Every structure is written in C-alpha cells, then in structure tokens.
Amino acid sequence: MNKLRIAIQKSGRLSEKSLEMLRECGIKISNTDRKLKAEARNFPMEILFLRDDDIPQYVEQGVADIGFLGENEVWEKAKDVEVVQKLGFGNCRLSLAIPKEDEYTGLNFFRGKKIATSYPVILEKYFGEKGIDVQVETINGSVEIATGIGLANGIFDIVSTGSTLIMNGLKEVETLMKSEAVLIAHKSLGRVQKELLDKLLFRIKAYQRGVGSKYIVLNAPNESIPKICSILPGMKSPSILPLADEGWSSVHSVVKEDEFWDVIDALKEVKAQGILVMPIEKMIL
C-alpha cells in the first residue's frame, strides 16, 4: 500500500486534539463522522478510529503504521512499538491517592494494601522495583470510587487537575509518572510509509515550533539597537529596518514563548517602543 495508516482515538479526550494536529499539518479528512476509517483528501493517509487501548497492538502488528495516544497507554500495554515524537497535548500524571483522612507515612503505607487501578502493569512494575508487596485490584473504570465502596485502600489513576480526587474524598500522595500524547510507529515500516512519516514529522515539528514562539516587532532609537540585538537573538539574528523618522529603526525577531515576558521586560529597559507580538503559524528552520 502506498499510504500511511494512522490510528487515533475514536472518541475521548485525545480525539479532537488528534484531528486538530492533523489539520495543523495541512491534512484534510473527508468524513470525520468516525465510522471506522476515513481517507485524507490531500495526503496519502488513511485514518483508523479506534479505542485508545487497542492502538498499541494494531501498531505493533502493522495493521496501522503509526498512532497517536497517551504515553500511559504505551507503557501499560508494553507492546513492541517505537515512540517517535511527543505531541504536546493530553498532559496528565499517574498518581497514587488515598482517603484524605488517612495518615500518609510514605510508600510503606501501601505495603500489603489493596490498590485499585486500570494500570496494573505500570503499578506492579513500580512496586516490584521498590520491593514492596501490594495487592493490585484491576478495574476498568470509575477507579476513584474504589476506596469509598471498600474495594481498596488506595487507588492509582490518571490525574489532571485533581478535582475528581477531591470530589471523591481522596488525596494525591505520590506521582509515579507524567504522560502526554505521543506518536508511535510500527518497528519496521515500508519505504513509502517511512517517507510519509518523515513528511508528517516535518510538519508536526514546524507547527510545534510555531506554537512555542512569538513574532515580535518593535521600534527603537538607533543607539539602543546593539543592546536590543543582545536581548533578541532570533533564529539567526534580528532584522533591522530603518524607519521614516531619522535615527529610529524597527526590529523584527522571534522569541520563545517561555522566555517571552522576561524579554519584554528587558526590552522596555532599553527604550523599545510600540512592541507588537504576533502568533506564528508554522516555523521551518
């Protein structure tokens, strides 16, 4: 087949973001009413809509060439697939929680205790490595009610804001790992699939760089330009254009999102004016 087959979650927390990522890569999908399959209109790609739990297995077997899913599912299913790229959405953590009235005494609290979870593989491996015996109670949903109904002494589950835990009278006591959505790939892709994957990765990275950066334009008196250049390294170096007002220039550059406010503060100190900040849609290096 001369197409790239991608598996994404059919319906759930990763579905919309997965489709959005493909859209940002310029891939248009004809029918997203989520039957089982859809075709991309302008990229040789077939999209399979699946339960996220099944994606590692499909990718391991090569039924799908690649997939988007949470790292937590990749670790739990422990299939032989390659994790190629972090996708920057679906962020959460996997944590241990206990009833809020219980006194937490460290990991030893769990020795001999029952822990309810949908992630038995990750949990058993963790306590195995620590040499602490625990009883793992595997359940498929509503893990957060397990202590309230007397099924377990604690739970191990996905947490994002922690509000579900609080609503169920629990407190988070240990974070075992952080997770986000990743792109996984079959271990031995065909030549065409490999080329298509490289093309997709190129687009994903251009999008992620754009999201993580801002385009910045400002005016400054010429004598401030050397200082401004040292604050604004840009991709290579800032562009400097003379303004109609003699003695003044306009400076254009790119700033990383996480350095952004520090850079603005530093620019104000050296008399930069009329600072404009714009989003960047894509950034190709």
List residues near ligand ATP by CB under 6 A. Answer: 9, 12-14, 51-53, 70, 72-73, 90, 92, 158, 160, 179
In terms of CB distance, is 123 or 218 closer to ligand ATP?
Answer: 123
Dihedral sign, Cα of residue 214, residue 160, residue 167, residue 13: positive
Token reading at 114: 């029952």
Q: Which does 219 bind (CB under 5 to 8 A by kind): Zn ion, ligand ATP, none?
A: none
E-state strands within the chain: 4-9, 37-39, 45-50, 66-70, 82-86, 92-99, 114-117, 135-138, 154-159, 170-179, 181-185, 213-221, 239-242, 248-256, 273-279
Q: Which does 179 bind (CB under 5 to 8 A by kind): ligand ATP, Zn ion, none?
A: ligand ATP
Residue showing the smallest CB distance to ligand ATP in the complex = 70
**How far is the C-alpha of 269 from the C-alpha of 276, rounded, in Å?**
16
Strand partners, 242: 249
CB of 15 to ligand ATP, least distance (A): 7
Q: Is 124 in the site for Zn ion (CB under 5 A)?
A: no
| Shortest CB 52 distance to ligand ATP, Å | 4
Which residues on neighbouring strands pair with residue 29, listed in sequence order?
A: 40
Residue 268 Cβ vs ligand ATP, minimum distance, rounded to whole Å? 38
Complex with ligand ATP: residue 17 or 252, whichever CB lies closer: 17
Residue 151 or 177: the one with the smaller Cβ distance to ligand ATP is 177
Q: Cβ(181)–Cβ(89) under 8 Å?
A: yes
